[in-house]
Structure formats: structure tokens, C-alpha cells
Amino acid sequence: MGRHDWWRPVAEKVRELSPYVVHIEHEYGLYEYRDNRGIGDRNEGFLTLLEAIGEYPIVVEPHTVHGRLRDFEANFLYELCRRSHVVLFKCHYQKWRLDWTFPGYGWETPRNVMVVPHGARPDRRWGAHEIPGLREELGLDKIGLAEHVVGMIGWIQTNKRWDILLSMWEEIREEIFRRTGQIWDLLAAGAMRDPGDRSIYEKWKADALELERRGFAHYYEFIPRGEIYYKMMAVCDFIVLPSTDETQSGTLARVIALNKPYITTAPMEGLTAQTLESEGGLLFTTKKMLRDKVVKLACDENLRFTLGENLRRYLDEVVSWDLVAKRYNEAYELALEARRTGAPVTLEPEF
């Protein structure tokens, strides 16, 4: 991305490969070229790339498509849809919001938008009898971790807002013990992702270590990737995701894969949408709500079981990788047919 015509070698490589279909994805901001003044091209190079490889079937999957688009984002998505055979959104609300946003500009809503949800693995579910072995494997059996655990697991970065739960955990823990007689620990586990968040990382890590020193919580440093990410979550009774900015949450995908009850922020775009669709988590919008929901979930084993069962069904019936793979293949077939016939893909609106 250090050159304004970065798209040229990409187009050349595509022509060299002569693919069945071209599938481009991830946050579209990653494809913005910025000059030596820091001024961006507003993804003009990305749109030029789509024109340059237009002889191939093109599927584009922009990850975070906000419900309330800025003018630049709306125009970019309009032009993106115009230059692609099929455009994939992660959530249904992202598609039906276009029916409000685009007519407001006097534009027709694109009909080549297809919803393919964020997939989750169907092969990462450990039974209760396997959790002691996972604790031992991770070394958690040696740190005095309580039998019951609330997890805050993943990358430590500004928008994840670990500090909200850290600041209330001692009080929450006491309330749970008063109601149930059970001792619960907070497991804060992860690592810094963005060097720009170093001061936040160091502050939240220090707060977690202070709680650990007082015997209320544990901090565990690990890189949230691969098998260990799943195992760290698996030892928790439920997970808290206190994000204050939209993410295409790989963390939530792992929570769903484990059928693990969770609590997350609302309204928060895709996090809220998947919580409503799965009925597998609780939502909060104030500090008091977060406190109350953590206490509620810790004190109600039946509720944890119900939410976990809802996530099991949601995984098996909606977001399992094998189901998502079939949807991708459908998108590729639609793009191939559109390129072969010259007839645009026309899909039904959500509402």
C-alpha cells in the first residue's frame, strides 16, 4: 500500500492465476492508499482494481459495514456494488439499512447484496468433564483459580474497555458470594495488539494484577490466536465482551463455537445483531446493567445452560463453517453466471 498504483501488480497476479472467481475481503479501509502528506485516495485504487479485473467473476466481502454510513462510505459501497457481481455482508441489518440510506441520497439500492454470517467452528466444544484437563494444560491449576470463572479473553485494545469490568469486579464478586456462597474469579487473559494502545494495555494489565494480588482475579498473558484462544475461553463459565466500538468479532465467533454464554454491549451493530439472533447472550448499555447481568448470570446456572443451548442450535443451524461454506459457493456460482451471461445478480430485499 506504499504506492498509489498498488492495484496494478494485484491485477497482473489475478490474470496470471486466471481464477474461477475472485473473492476480496476484510475491512475496506485497509485498501486505502495515503500519500506522503497522509491524505488518502478514499479507496479509489480499490475501485480501479475491480475495473481492471472485471473480466473475472468478482465477489467482495467488506467486513464492517456500519448501519449509519458516512457520505464517503455510502458512495464507496454504491460504487463497490456497481463494480462487483456479488457483495457479501455479514449481518442482515447491514443489508436492510441500505434501503433507508441509499434512497436518502436519491440512489437505487443495489440488488446484488447477499448475507453470509460470520462463521464459527463446529469442532471446538469441550464437555464439563474435560475442563480440569484444560486447566492443567494451561497451567491454571497452579495459580489457585476458583472453580467458577468469568472470562474477559482476547486482544487488549482501547475499544475493548476491560476497565469497565475491572473497576467493578471486587463488588460483583462479593455480591455473587453473598447470594450463592460461591467464590468466582475473573480471568483476564490476552495481549496487546496495537502498539498505539500500549498505555491502555499497561494500565489495564496493572489493574488486573492488583486484583490478582488481592486474591480476586488472575491475569494471563497469551497471544489470542489458534487453539489456545479456544481453550482459554473453554475454562470460563461465561465471557464478557465490553466493546464500545463495532468489531467483526472473531472473539464472538469463538464464544459461539464453544456454546459459551456471554454478556456484551448494546447497541453495538453486529455484536447486538448476533446476540438477538442467537439468543445466546445478555446485553448491557450502562455500568449498572453490566454489573447486574454479571451477577444474574453467575447466580443462575439454569440461565447459563439455556443460553448455551441456544448457542448450540445457532451454531448447528446458522453459522457453522460447513453451512457458511455452502453460502460462499452459492455466491461464487451467482457471480460466475452473471459474468457469463452479462445479466446482473438480482436478490430479494430483506424486508
146 and 260 co-located in one domain:
yes
88 and 220 co-located in one domain:
no
**Per the structure, how many domains does the chain have?**
2
51 and 181 co-located in one domain:
no
In a domain, 123, yes or no: no
In a domain, 73, yes or no: yes
- Bridge partners, 115 (sequence order): 89
Write out the DSSP string of 90-135: SSHHHHHHHHHHHHHTT-PPPS-EEE-PPPB-SS----GGGHHHHH
Full-model pTM: 0.93
228 and 331 co-located in one domain:
no
256 and 177 co-located in one domain:
yes
In a domain, 77, yes or no: yes
Tell me the CATH number at 232.
3.40.50.2000
In a domain, 215, yes or no: yes
100 and 137 co-located in one domain:
no
In a domain, 45, yes or no: yes
Q: Which domain holds residue 278?
A: 128-319
151 and 292 co-located in one domain:
yes
DSSP H or E stretch at residue 78? helix 71-83
Measured in whole angstroms, the distance separating CA 201 from the mean position of its chain's CA atoms is 20
Q: What percentage of the chain carries pLDDT values higher than 70?
A: 99
> Exposed, middle or buried by CB within 10 Å (0-12, 13-18, 19+), for 68?
exposed
333 and 313 co-located in one domain:
no
Alpha-carbon distance of 330 to 10, in angstroms, equals: 25
Q: Give the pLDDT of residue 56.
A: 97
Place of cell 484444560: 134
In a domain, 346, yes or no: no
Count CB atoms within 10 A of the CB of residue 129: 7
Count CB atoms within 10 A of the CB of residue 284: 19
Write out the DSSP string of 81-100: HHH-SEEEESSHHHHHHHHH
For 318-333, b/e burial (b = at least 16 CB within 10 A) is bbbeebbeeebeebbe
162 and 271 co-located in one domain:
yes
45 and 193 co-located in one domain:
no
223 and 101 co-located in one domain:
no
For residue 7 the three cell numbers come to 492495484
Q: Give the pLDDT of residue 30.
A: 87
What's the count of helices (H) and strands (E) in the chain, helices before strands? 13, 10
| Beta sheet of 184-192, edge-to-edge order | 217-221, 184-192, 148-156, 238-241, 262-265, 281-284
In a domain, 180, yes or no: yes
Measured in whole angstroms, the distance separating CA 52 from the mean position of its chain's CA atoms is 31
In a domain, 160, yes or no: yes
- Bridge partners, 191 (sequence order): 155
Phi then psi for residue 5, to 5 deg, are -105, 40
Q: Which residues of the chain have pLDDT under 70?
A: 246-248
For residue 49 the three cell numbers come to 482494481
Contacts of 104 (CB under 8 A, 6+ apart): none
328 and 179 co-located in one domain:
no
Alpha-carbon distance of 211 to 276, in angstroms, equals: 33
